[in-house]
Homo-oligomer: A and B are copies of this chain.
C-alpha cells in the first residue's frame, strides 16, 4: 500500500513543477483516499497548488476521504462560490461533517451563499448531535408513492439519473407521507411492468429516530445485516438514510472509544497524534490515576507498623493487588463489550452479577490455594499462607463484583460505561485488597512475627 501512496506523491510533485492540470486518466486509475493520503503527506504550503490541479468533482471525492484538518486547509484556499460548487458533488452527510469542522465564520458565510433550500437542509442536519443518527444521515434517497407501478418507478429513476448514494433501496410512502416500505432495485427490475410498489415492498422496516445514539444504530445494522437504515421522525416521515460505510466507521470509532476510555485514553488519540496533543489528552488521566493511587497508599500507610514488623508482607502486596486488578479487568472487558454489543439485558442483571461474583469465588480459591502454598514454602510460615489465601478469595470476589457494577453504575448515571472504569476498578481492588490483607495480618500479627 505504501508504495502506491509514494507513487502518487511523486506524480503530484511532478505536476507541481509543470503546473499542469491533472490528467483524467491518472485520476481514474486511483482511489480518492489514496490521493487524499498522499496530499496530506506533502508539505502544507503546497496545498493551494495541489488542489488547483483537480477539477471540483474530483476534488469533492478527495475531500470526502481527507482528514478533518486537511479538509479545512484545502477549503481555505477556495472561494465561497468554489466551495459551494465542490459541495454540489457531495452527499449531504459529508457536507455536514465538513462544515461542522470549519471555522464558524466560514460555515456561516457558506450558508448565506447557498441556495435557500440547500441551506435549510444543511442547517437542519447541522442541528443534530454528530454522534446521533441525525448526524450520520444523508438526505439523498429515492422515495416513491406506494401506488406507483414498477414501470413508472423505472422511468422516474432514469429521469432522475440518480447521484444518490444508495439507489439499490427505493423507499415507499403512503398518502400520509409515512414511510411504509422499501423495495430493492433488483425486485423492481425482476417484476412485471404493472406491479405496484406496495405489492413487492418489504413492509416491516427497521428504522431509527434522528436523536438515536450512533452506537444503537450500529447495533441494529449489525444485528439485522442491513446495508442502509432509514431515519424517520415521530410522524414516520423519512428524514434521511444512513449507509453501511458510515456504520463501519461508527463501529471502528465506538470500539476504539471503549478500549481507550476504559484505560483513560481520549478517543481522539491515535498513534500519529501530535506530541503535545497526546500530552494534553493523557496527562489529565494520569493525574486522576495519581489521586486514586494515593488512596491505595493511604490504605497501606494505615498498616506501616505491621509492615515494619513483618516486611515480607510488602513483598506479597503486589501479588494481592495485581491479581485483583487483573481478574477485575477481565470481568470489566467482558461487561463493557456486552453493553456495547447490546447483550446485557435488564432482566439478566442479577443473574450476571451473581455469575461474576461466583467466578471470583472459584478463581479466588484456585489462585489463593496456590499463592498461599508458595508463600508458605518460601517463608515457612503457615499463617502467612492462610492470610494471603483469605485475602485473595475476598479480593477476587470483589473484583468480579466491581468489574460488573462499575460499568453498569456509570451507564445508569448516563456516563459512558467504559469511562476510566479500569482506573476505578484497580483503585477498588487495591484499596480493599490491601485493607483486608494487611488487616488480617494485623489481627494475627503474633502468629506472623
| A residues with CB within 8 A of B | 1-2, 28-31, 33, 157-158, 161-162, 167-168, 185-186, 189-190, 204, 206, 221-225, 227, 244-245, 247-249, 251-252, 255-256, 258-260, 262-265, 269-272, 275, 278-279, 282-283, 285-287, 289-290, 292-294, 296-298, 300-301, 304-305, 307-309, 311-319, 321-323, 325-327, 329-330, 332-338, 341-348, 352, 355, 358-359, 362-363, 366-367, 370-371, 374, 422-423, 426, 430, 434
Selected from B262, B323, B338, the residue in CB contact (under 8 A) with A271 is B338
Selected from B263, B264, B362, B367, the residue in CB contact (under 8 A) with A287 is B367
Copy count, this protein chain: 2
Is there contact, CB below 8 Å, between B271 and A290?
Answer: no
Selected from B278, B322, B355, B367, the residue in CB contact (under 8 A) with A359 is B278
* Assembled-state Cα–Cα distance A301/B314 (Å): 8
* Assembled-state Cα–Cα distance A329/B269 (Å): 14
Is there contact, CB below 8 Å, between B244 and A341?
Answer: no
Knowing A272-B343, A289-B323 are in contact, say whether A265-B330 is a contact too (CB < 8 A): yes
* Assembled-state Cα–Cα distance A256/B254 (Å): 11
Is there contact, CB below 8 Å, between A319 and B296?
Answer: yes
Selected from B315, B325, B329, the residue in CB contact (under 8 A) with A297 is B315
Chain B residues whose C-beta falls within 8 Å of the C-beta of A168 in the assembled complex = 168, 185-186
Knowing A259-B259, A263-B330, A326-B263 are in contact, say whether A297-B279 is a contact too (CB < 8 A): no
Is there contact, CB below 8 Å, between B315 and A301?
Answer: yes
Chain B residues whose C-beta falls within 8 Å of the C-beta of A157 in the assembled complex = 189
Report the nearest B residue to A294, measured CB to CB. Answer: B319
* Assembled-state Cα–Cα distance A206/B301 (Å): 61
Chain B residues whose C-beta falls within 8 Å of the C-beta of A434 in the assembled complex = 318
Is there contact, CB below 8 Å, between A363 and B259?
Answer: no
Selected from B167, B262, B343, B367, the residue in CB contact (under 8 A) with A290 is B367
Is there contact, CB below 8 Å, between B311 and A270?
Answer: no
* Assembled-state Cα–Cα distance A305/B308 (Å): 9
Chain B residues whose C-beta falls within 8 Å of the C-beta of A321 in the assembled complex = 318, 321
| Residue among A190, A222, A272 with the highest chain B CB neighbour number at 10 A | A272
Is there contact, CB below 8 Å, between A307 and B297?
Answer: no
Is there contact, CB below 8 Å, between A337 and B256?
Answer: yes
Q: List 25 A-B contacts (CB under 8 A).
A: A2-B347, A31-B224, A157-B189, A158-B190, A161-B190, A185-B186, A222-B248, A244-B248, A248-B248, A272-B343, A275-B355, A282-B363, A283-B363, A286-B323, A286-B366, A290-B367, A293-B323, A296-B322, A297-B319, A300-B315, A305-B311, A308-B311, A313-B314, A314-B314, A317-B318
Is there contact, CB below 8 Å, between A227 and B204?
Answer: no
Is there contact, CB below 8 Å, between A345 and B2?
Answer: yes
Is there contact, CB below 8 Å, between B251 and A334?
Answer: no
Report the nearest B residue to A352, measured CB to CB. Answer: B271
* Assembled-state Cα–Cα distance A278/B283 (Å): 35
Is there contact, CB below 8 Å, between B186 and A333?
Answer: no
Measured CB to CB, the closest approach of chain B to A263, in angstroms, equals 5
Selected from B248, B322, B333, B359, the residue in CB contact (under 8 A) with A293 is B322
Chain B residues whose C-beta falls within 8 Å of the C-beta of A270 in the assembled complex = 334, 337-338, 341, 343
Measured CB to CB, the closest approach of chain B to A93, in angstroms, equals 13
Other than the given A185-B185, A259-B336, A298-B315, 15 more pairs (CB < 8 A) read A225-B245, A225-B248, A264-B330, A271-B343, A272-B348, A278-B359, A279-B363, A283-B362, A286-B326, A290-B367, A290-B371, A294-B319, A296-B322, A314-B317, A326-B423
Knowing A30-B204, A186-B167, A315-B300 are in contact, say whether A333-B279 is a contact too (CB < 8 A): no
Is there contact, CB below 8 Å, between A362 and B293?
Answer: no
